[in-house]
Amino acid sequence: MTTNPTEQTPDTAAAARSTALRWATAAGGLATVASTFLAWTFTSEFPGDLTVYGYPGGLQVLTLVAGLFVTLLALASLGVKGLGWLVPTGSAKALRMAALGAFGTTWFTVLAIAVKLGGLVNLEPGGFVAALASAIPLVAFLLPDDTRKAGRPRELPSWAEILVIVAVFGAGLYVVTYGIDTEYAELFTGYLITVGFAMAALIKSGAIARLSALTAKYRQVTVIAAFVAAAAFPFTQNTDVYTLIAVNILIFATVALGLNIVVGLAGLLDLGYVAFLGVGAYTAALVSGSTASAFDIQFPFWASVLTGAAASLVFGVIIGAPTLRLRGDYLAIVTLGFGEIFRIAMGNLDGVSGPQITNGPNGIPNIPDLEFFGYNFGEPHTVLGIELGSYANYYLLMLLVMILVVVVFSRAGSSRIGRAWVAIREDETAATAMGINGFRVKLIAFALGATLAGLAGTVQAHVQHTVVPEMYQFAGPVPPNSAFLLAAVILGGMGTVTGPLLGATLLFMIPAKLQFLQDYQLLGFGIALIVLMRFRPEGLIANRRAQLEYHETDQPDAPDKGLPESGVGITKAGA
């Protein structure tokens, strides 16, 4: 039997179809980019001024970036030289995520124009062109899943690999700064859509895994680059408006990282953790020299910080000693009660219901700015020819505090006591049987977490210039509170360093930027946690152990090599 040489085999036909779909995806990405140079609406009432031809503005810029990203991924999957680093593994899954990002950003903009201005009649032809063009890359969903594994990356000189790390952190600084500096809710929503799907695409493509291997190889360079990028943020700001948001994010993230010791490492469900932040803040306020303080004393900066941390440590031991013999729900109820007792007690120490210490519901206002060796944090200072405002000073201070907390968390987590925490979290009965003193180990975790929260609280008191009981509730309209902190740890990824930092950043910045969501925060968090439990139960940034536990079915079966062929003795199923 002879075959026609022009007749395609099934494999050849599938390859040709896959190539055509990738070219269509690239063409759709380019069409999406081109559409941003057209006017999308005829009125400038929609923020961002999308009425100009030849010059993208506002949300059009995000659509342009998303379309360009789709095009680059599609060309990389086609084997275009110089772009292979974008898709070490899964080009099909990465293309789908990128296509969804471009589609989501563009259609959100079109619908926002229609809703805000009163109908689709307010769209110029460019808006319809953009909507259709962004739908073309969705043909990537017709691609079959990738089955190839990542090949060995081409070796680069050491200086080139270091340059890649520096460039990535520089790009990260720009992306974060752009998000914090967004001026209106529509632009920030589009930013979240674009960045979220772009990160998902990079994860699916394997690029993030390669970058992680590179940062692990040059750990010191990575740490320095991360610190420099973070420290450079206030130098990119002209005012203190967004720097204040960044300061609060750092405070929130620092406290969340302290809670991660208690919840993520030791497995203790603490629902009143924000009270330790309040202990540190009230202690610093009382010794700050404030005119409303019940004590006519003013400690220097270092003494105020140590006093606040020590007070939180003492409260952590006092509360933990009788309660840590409880487990599970009982421990959660007791810690929730402690948080509420602290808030109510601070409101009753007003000279009427109790001693005159905290001024009751009025709190302690007029807390002066910190001063350290003559450097007043409340005054602008010129550094490297750039004037830094007062919140920039507190931002740099909180950055140093966060570095200290990260070091403590990392060292403690990898130490002998850290391994004991993990053992207690996994199975306290088994850990006790192996000789671990469960009560002492849990008390250390509780006390250390309380100390770190108190440390952040001492700075928060001076940043806010006042402390009131309502700032330290279980759940409230303004973070940080216990519900926010616990959600940040779970959302970001328990037991990791970067997870709570990312979770705290998202949970603080989203309500701060999207004011209309403030009345629905708890509803939004509940929906987010449900979605997370379904698709990524280990959190956005997963601990390796948790990732293996939650995705056991995704792991390849153990090989049969070495097992008895007769079936006598150990079998694969029995193992």
pLDDT tops 60 at residue 97: yes
Here the tokens at position 49 are: 């001024």
Domain boundaries, the chain: 17-150+185-209, 239-511
The answer to whether the beta carbons of residues 307 and 283 sit under 8 Å apart is: yes
216 or 540: which carries more pLDDT confidence? 216
Residue 370 confidence (pLDDT)? 81
Enumerate the H helices of 324-465 as residue ranges. Answer: 328-348, 390-413, 416-426, 428-433, 438-464
SS (H, E, C) 128-195: HHHHHHHHHHHHHHHCCCCCCCCCCCCCCCHHHHHHHHHHHHHHHHHHHHHHHCCCCHHHHHHHHHHH
Q: Which residues contact 227 (CB under 8 A, 6 or more apart)?
A: 399, 403
The confidence band for 517, taking pLDDT boundaries of 50, 70 and 90, is low
Averaged pLDDT for residues 161-174: 91
Within 10 angstroms of residue 563's Cβ, the number of other Cβ atoms is 15
Give the pLDDT score at 32.
94
* Count of beta carbons in the 10 Å neighbourhood of residue 96: 24
Tell me 122's DSSP state.
Answer: G
What's the Cα-to-Cα distance from 215 to each of 169, 209, 210, 219, 547, rounded to whole Å?
11, 10, 9, 6, 20
For 104, the token pair is 């989501």
Instruction: Answer whether residue 161 shows pLDDT above 60.
Output: yes
Q: Residue 82: is its pLDDT beyond 80?
A: no
- The predicted pLDDT at position 567 comes to 36
**What is the pLDDT, as a whole number, of residue 555?**
47
Position 99 pLDDT exceeds 90:
yes
Q: Is domain 17-150+185-209 annotated with CATH 1.20.1440?
A: yes
Q: Is the pLDDT of residue 240 over 50?
A: yes
Rounded distance, CA 571 to CA 278, Å?
57
User: Which range (100-104, 263-267, 289-293, 483-487) has the least confidence?
Assistant: 289-293
Collect all residues with Cβ–Cβ distance below 8 Å to 406 and sequence separation of at least 6: 257, 497
Q: Name every residue whose Cβ is closer than 8 Å to that of residue 371 and which is 6 or more positions away in sequence.
A: 300, 301, 377
Q: pLDDT digits over 551-571, tens only?
A: 555 544 444 444 333 333 333
Contact 32, 67 (CB under 8 A): yes
Higher pLDDT, 530 or 444: 444
User: What percent of the chain lies above the pLDDT cut of 70?
Assistant: 89
**pLDDT tier for residue 150 given thresholds of 50, 70 and 90:** low
- Report the pLDDT value the prediction gives residue 108, as an integer from 0 to 100: 94
pLDDT band at 9 (very low <50, low <70, confident <90, very high): low
Average the pLDDT over 305-317 and give the result: 91
3-state secondary structure 382-417: EECCEEECHHHHHHHHHHHHHHHHHHHHHHHHCCHH
| Cis previous bond, 477, omega within 30 | no
Residues found in the chain: 575
Confidence of residue 61 (pLDDT cuts 50, 70, 90): very high
Amino acid found at 130: A
- For residue 566, what pLDDT is reported? 36
Token digits for 333? 């109820």
Task: Classify strands 375-376 and 371-372 as parallel, antiparallel or unpaired.
Answer: antiparallel
> Is it true that 17-150+185-209 and 239-511 share their CATH fold?
no
pLDDT of residue 571: 32
Q: What is the predicted pLDDT for the residue at 258? A: 87
CATH 1.10.3470 fits 239-511, yes or no: yes
Question: In DSSP terms, which residues pair with 375 in a beta bridge?
Answer: 372
Q: What is the mean pLDDT of residues 68-82?
A: 87
CB of 35 closer than 8 Å to CB of 126? yes
Q: Please determine, for residue 1, whether its predicted confidence score (pLDDT) is greater than 50.
A: no
Strand, helix or coil for residue 333:
helix
- Predicted confidence at residue 335, as pLDDT, reads 87
Predicted pLDDT of residue 153: 63
Residue percentage of the chain with pLDDT more than 90: 18
Q: Quick one: pLDDT at residue 110?
A: 92
Examine the pLDDT at 145 and tell me if it is beyond 90.
Answer: no
pLDDT exceeds cutoff 50 at 437: yes
Query: Cα separation of 309 and 315, whole Å?
Result: 10
Task: Tell me what pLDDT residue 85 has.
Answer: 77
DSSP 8-state secondary structure symbol assigned to residue 3: -
Q: Averaged over 145-165, what is the pLDDT? A: 75
pLDDT of residue 68: 94
Confidence band, pLDDT 50/70/90 cuts, at residue 140 = confident
- Residues 367, 466 contacting (CB under 8 angstroms): yes
Q: Which of 87-101, 141-155, 279-293 has the lowest mean pLDDT?
A: 141-155
Instruction: Look up tokens 């206002």; give the residue.
Output: 365
CA distance 178 to 337: 41
For residue 8, the 8-state DSSP code is P
* Mean pLDDT, the chain, integer: 82
Whole-number pLDDT of residue 544: 66
Least confident of 207-221, 259-273, 467-481: 467-481
pTM of the model: 0.81
Whether 428 shows a pLDDT value over 60: the answer reads yes
Q: Distance between CA atoms of 77 and 82, rounded to whole angstroms?
A: 11
